[in-house]
Structure 1
Amino acid sequence: MTETSIWQPMVDRLDRLRAAGRRADFWLRDDDAVAPTAELDRLVDLADRFSVPVTLAVIPAHTSGELSHYLASRDDISIAVHGWTHQNHAPPAEKRQELGGHRPREVVLDELGRGYSHLRVLHPSSFIPLLVPPWNRIDPGLLAGLPAIGFMALSVFGPERSPSKPDDGAKTMKSGSITSAFPRPGLSLVNTHVDVMDWHGTRGCRDHREIIQDIVRRLDEMNLAEEAVGILTHHLVHDESVWEFLSRLFELTAAHPACRWRRVGDLIAR
């Protein structure tokens, strides 16, 4: 199967949307930014080439003015809060979590408040009141305290709505019971749904065909009027296959009338 042909299912799906006079929204969330790097430069330049807005989930405790100065002249960059230190506090038998129920609630919320304030000062024009939990996991008991800090939205990995039937092979949502906690006053859920990384295998890019299948599945299942296709990346660990995939994805979608890349702030507002 050629590289062109593996993209055909997505192109066909977008063509059907266009024929029906409909359009799908896409957004890009990239995690773990702390400082200017060659990899971040590559991501931002690639996205800029195709006018794709980028949401950077920044780790507050490890970042400084260096990143804010680097991004000051960049358009279409939004800054979200990626926990506090991205440190695991779960015991070895559990999945990694910084925002789990392993520490007092007030301690975790205090750290999130510090992270919120720190990034808002560093990035006054691009800061978005969006919390991205490290490893896409957060204890549901923390949700009620987020609006008081200033957060208006949460972003994890998986569907915003509980599926009505068993998912045929789709990835299990990492957010656990978070979906069932929404909707809730003062807090939106704007998730990512397609991860390009093979975390449990090569730790490089997943098979391009499988990623495309995930995008098509998301297009089929989502509410086009209220939801988007969230693409999740981690610029610091991309191999060449990831860069190739993103370049082709941006090229195809940016030129197609049935899809548009959105700022996450626009998705939160709607």
Structure 2
Amino acid sequence: MTPSEIWQPLTRELARWLQAGRTADFWLRDDDAIEPTAALDRLLAMTATYQAPVALAVIPAWTGAPLAERLARENHVTVAVHGWSHENHAPQGEKKQELGHHRPRDIVLAELSQGRARLQRLHAGRFAPMLVPPWNRIDADLLPHLAGIGFSALSVFGAPGPAPIRMLNSTVDIMDWRGNRGGRDHAALISEIVAQLELAFRGEGGPVGLLSHHLVHDEVAWSFLERLFEVTAASGACRWRPVGELLA
């Protein structure tokens, strides 16, 4: 199958949106930022070229002024809170989790509060009080307490369910974590995006939330992102939206 044939289902779906006079919403969350790197520069340049806002989930414990200074000239970036230190506290044999039930709740909440305050101070002009749990996992017992420590939204992965806090979830992960740990097959990703657009067209779904991890992208992942930006920009039926708009 040629690249144009692979992308045809998305092109066709977006043409349907355009013909109906409707606009499909997309947003991008990128996890694990700590400091300026060549990979981050590549992500920022690509998203700026296509005017695609990006929500960077930053790990508070390991970041500092260098990242804040690098992002100061990027008007299309929002910073969210990626847990505290991205450390696994689950015992061997369980799925990795920093924000689980394995430690006293007060300790976990204190770390999250410290992380929120630190990132808000470092990135005052671009900070969003949105929590992005490492590995997209969080103990449900913590959710009622997040607003009390300054969070207004939570972002994990998958269709959002009932929660005592606003949810803005990523819904399409471009990485193949269980396989080669590189970018996923483009045709499979396009199929997922089209399925979500079909739901949204019927009023049964929200924005398509892309999830990326710039530090571990291979060329399969990078090429998918760039081609997706090209296709959506050319369609006349898409907009990439910043987190602040989606949470307003």
TM above 0.5, yes or no, is yes
- What secondary structure sits across from 1:112 in the alignment? helix
Matched, 1:2 2:12: no
Q: What SS does the corresponding residue of 2:130 show, helix, strand or coil?
A: strand
| Superposition CA RMSD, Å | 1.2
Matching residue within 236, 241, 246 for 1:257: 236
User: Deviations along 1:10-50, whole A, 9 cap, x unmatched?
Assistant: 11111111111211110000000000000000000000010
For residue 214 of structure 1, what is the amino acid of its counterpart?
E
Paired residue type of 1:253: T
TM-score by length of 1: 0.89
Q: How has the CA–CA distance of structure 1 residues 65 and 157 changed in structure 2, closer, same or farther, with 3 Å as cutoff?
A: same
Matched, 1:147 2:126: no
Q: Which runs of 5+ in 1 are unaligned?
A: 161-178
**Is 1:236 the counterpart of 2:179 in the alignment?**
no
* 1:99 corresponds to: 99
Partner AA of 1:199 in structure 2: W
Q: Which amino acid aligns with 1:203?
A: R
Runs of 4+ that moved beyond 3 A: 222-226
The separation in 1 between residues aligned to 2:86 and 2:68, in whole angstroms, is 19
Q: 1:225 and 1:29 mapped to 2: Cα distance? A: 22
Q: Which residue of 1 aligns with 2:198?
A: 220
8 Å Cα contact 1:254-1:261 kept in structure 2: no
User: What secondary structure is seen at the aligned counterpart in 2 of 1:128?
Assistant: strand
Question: Aligned partners of 2:78, 2:98: CA distance in 1, in Å?
Answer: 22
1:117 is aligned to: 117
Instruction: Give the number of equivalent residue pairs.
Output: 247
Q: Structure 2: state its 5+ residue gaps.
A: none
Give the 5 Å matches for 1:55-134: 55-134=55-134
- Give the Å deviation of 1:241: 1.1
Q: Offset at 1:218?
A: 1.2
Residue aligned with 1:230, SS: strand
Residue 205 of structure 1: aligned partner: 183
Q: Decide whether aligned partners of structure 1 residues 260 and 225 sit closer, same or farther in structure 2, where only a CA change above 3 A counts.
A: farther
Distance (Å, rounded) in 1 between the aligned partners of 2:235 and 2:103: 47
The equivalent of 1:194 in structure 2 is 172
Deviates more, 1:207-216 or 1:220-229: 220-229
Does the 8 Å contact 1:156/1:190 carry over to 2?
yes
Measured in 2, the distance between the counterparts of 1:11 and 1:107 equals: 48
The amino acid of 1:106's aligned partner reads: D
Letter matched to residue 238 of structure 1: H
Letter in 1 for 2:178: H
Corresponding residue SS for 2:236: coil
Contact 1:23 1:224 in 2 (8 A): no
1:36–1:66 contact (8 Å) kept in structure 2: yes
Q: Percent identity?
A: 55
Which letter does structure 2 place at the counterpart of 1:248?
R
User: Is the 8 Å Cα contact of residues 24 and 224 (structure 1) preserved in structure 2?
Assistant: no
Shift in alpha-carbon separation, 1:205–1:226, aligned structure 2, 3 A: closer
For 1:202, what is the secondary structure of its paired residue?
A: coil
